[in-house]
């Protein structure tokens, strides 16, 4: 059983367990030992976002890998997908991203990638936890086999060139005014530069990180600033990334938001027409709207659903031969270009469709009418409300009320102490009543 790892690595409040220097050291040691293979010189790549606590966790992880005989390549603030790409490009044995994604600066996290650039499976994470719990100190290497650390100065340039190669040759962004909100996070340098180099007029916000302002009133989870900037600057569209830039949300020329479901619908249909789509459809999570599923079905495409978490999307894509997948929240994975969600690459694929269509963003990106969907989150403490009989009864009543024309999903967040309730269907008033009843019941039990 995994206790340390959640749905996206290890995450928590910085300088409190499990996000302490001591635990980061042990994770580095255990992960390093896990990926010692053969007698070659082993390497770990470590990147981070712009949180102040990155200065705490980066040297601790570095020391852990060095203690296991691994060399460490430090690349500084970089998007999560850049770490996945560099791990493969540098033939490294493991990649590490220090980030809590869309969480506020007080939190931080550790995401691990294998030598293939993919996030680790549940089984490997469980093995790493087992090593930590069974005294990883016994595996320390002799003094003459300690690793070394170096900084890779051109890492940003390598990633930017990789990203630009995903944008079709012969197309440019000339004539487009684009707002990009980097959430004061990992992409604060690369995203505006890539868009500018491809020809866009760039209005940039969220590009002055101070260690404490990441995701604060900006980025993909607070896109109001981007939407306002679109209207103020009369931009053609806006792109809002999260703190580690592995996901994004779009807004059209009116400032209206476009979620990941619409983006996946747009790309799926376009790639189907051009013969690029593999697997006969796309992969999404249980959170994606029924409207997306019906749209794809109308065009002869399948929507395969998996549990929440972009790594589960990737695993299913690899296993069943899909090359497009993602999450409603804006994690979009293109198997042709990478092994994890990449907000900037996803944005470029949408921009390519807009350039080809020569029509307003609002006309290009809205492919289907989503069914009404309501999502609520409830914070809980030491209780286990989802095991309570009254809560289970309320959930069953909700499912019965929605029937076959709707959906109800109740799950624990894998990154925060939250219970998430999602309901959708054609009757918006019914959805409100179902969710309100479940929320009220859980709140009463969670006190």
* Torsion angles phi and psi, residue 218, rounded to 5: -160, 175
Strand partners, 237: 178
Q: Two tokens at 105?
A: 């600066």
Residue owning tokens 């089984």: 123
Is 223 in contact with 240 (CB distance < 8 Å)? Answer: yes
Q: Two tokens at 243?
A: 């703190």
Q: Give dist(CA 50, CA 186) in Å, integer.
A: 6
Q: Exposed (0-12), middle (13-18) or buried (19+): which is 350, by Cβ within 10 Å?
A: buried
Strand partners, 334: 324
Q: Give dist(CA 301, CA 398) in Å, integer.
A: 30
Catalytic residues: 101
């Amino acid at each position: 059983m995994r206790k340390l790892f959640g749905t996206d690595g290890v995450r928590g409040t910085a300088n409190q367990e499990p996000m302490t220097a001591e635990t980061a050291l042990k994770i580095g040691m255990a992960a390093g030992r896990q990926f010692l293979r053969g007698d070659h010189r082993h390497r770990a790549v470590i990147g981070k976002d712009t949180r102040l606590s990155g200065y705490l966790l980066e040297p601790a992880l570095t020391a852990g890998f060095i203690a296991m005989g691994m060399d460490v390549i430090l690349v500084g603030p970089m998007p999560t997908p850049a770490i996945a790409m560099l791990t493969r490009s540098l033939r490294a044995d493991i990649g590490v991203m220090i980030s809590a994604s869309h969480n506020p600066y007080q939190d931080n996290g550790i995401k691990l990638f294998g030598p293939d650039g993919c996030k680790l499976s549940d089984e490997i994470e469980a093995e790493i936890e087992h090593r930590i719990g069974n005294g990883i100190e016994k595996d320390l290497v002799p003094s003459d086999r300690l690793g070394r650390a170096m900084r890779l100065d051109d890492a940003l340039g390598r990633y930017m060139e990789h990203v630009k190669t995903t944008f079709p040759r012969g197309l440019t962004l000339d004539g487009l005014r684009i707002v990009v909100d980097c959430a004061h996070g990992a992409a604060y340098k690369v995203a505006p530069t890539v868009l500018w180099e491809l020809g866009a007029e760039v209005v940039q916000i969220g590009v002055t990180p101070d260690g404490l302002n990441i995701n604060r009133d900006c980025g993909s989870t607070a896109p109001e600033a981007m939407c306002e900037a679109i209207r103020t600057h009369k931009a053609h569209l806006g792109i809002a990334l999260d703190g580690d830039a592995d996901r994004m949300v779009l807004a059209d020329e009116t400032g209206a938001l476009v979620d990941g479901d619409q983006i996946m619908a747009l790309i799926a249909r376009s790639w189907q027409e051009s013969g690029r789509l593999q697997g006969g459809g796309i992969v999404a999570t249980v959170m994606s709207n029924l409207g997306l599923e019906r749209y794809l079905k109308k065009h002869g495409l399948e929507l395969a659903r998996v549990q929440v978490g972009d790594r589960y999307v990737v695993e299913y894509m690899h296993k069943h031969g899909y090359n497009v997948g993602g999450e409603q929240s804006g994690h979009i994975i293109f198997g042709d270009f990478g092994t994890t969600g990449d907000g900037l690459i996803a944005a470029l694929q949408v921009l390519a469709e807009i350039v080809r269509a020569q029509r307003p963003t609002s006309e290009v990106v809205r492919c289907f009418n989503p069914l009404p969907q309501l999502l609520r989150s409830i914070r809980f403490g030491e209780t286990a409300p989802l095991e309570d009989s009254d809560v289970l009864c309320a959930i069953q009543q909700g499912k019965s009320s929605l029937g076959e024309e709707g959906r109800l999903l109740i799950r624990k967040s894998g990154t925060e102490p939250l219970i998430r309730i999602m309901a959708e269907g054609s009757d918006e008033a019914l959805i409100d009543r179902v969710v309100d009843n479940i929320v009220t019941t859980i709140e009463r039990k969670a006190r």
